[in-house]
Amino acid sequence: ACGARLVYMSTDYVFDGKATTPYEEADPVLPLNVYGRSKLEGERQAAVFPGSLIVRGGWLFGRGGRDFRQGRRPGHDPGHGRG
């Protein structure tokens, strides 16, 4: 063993997007599209490794730069209609 740790970058698209409050890590998952389902499967695969970390990001943005919405191709929505 080399002491490395697996860090898996996931997304809030593992949820159905209907919550009225911020999601908690233990909330039930219900992805609505292929992207969300594939990220959820990645989480499940990563979770079998002891000490692994799963990080779920949400709407990514930055001051003075391009944000997630601006970075998308026109007419392309990788999610399920949010934004």
Question: b vs e for 33-59, b when ≥16 Cβ sit within 10 Å of the residue's Cβ?
Answer: eebbeebbebbeebeeeeeeebebeee
Q: Is the pTM of this model over 0.75?
A: no
pLDDT confidence band for 83 (50 / 70 / 90): very low
Q: What is the CA 40 to chain-centroid distance, rounded?
A: 8
Identify residue 66 by its one-letter amino acid code.
R
Q: Do residues 49 and 6 lie in contact, with contact meaning Cβ atoms separated by under 8 Å?
A: yes
Averaged pLDDT, 43-52: 96
Q: Which are the catalytic amino acids?
A: 35
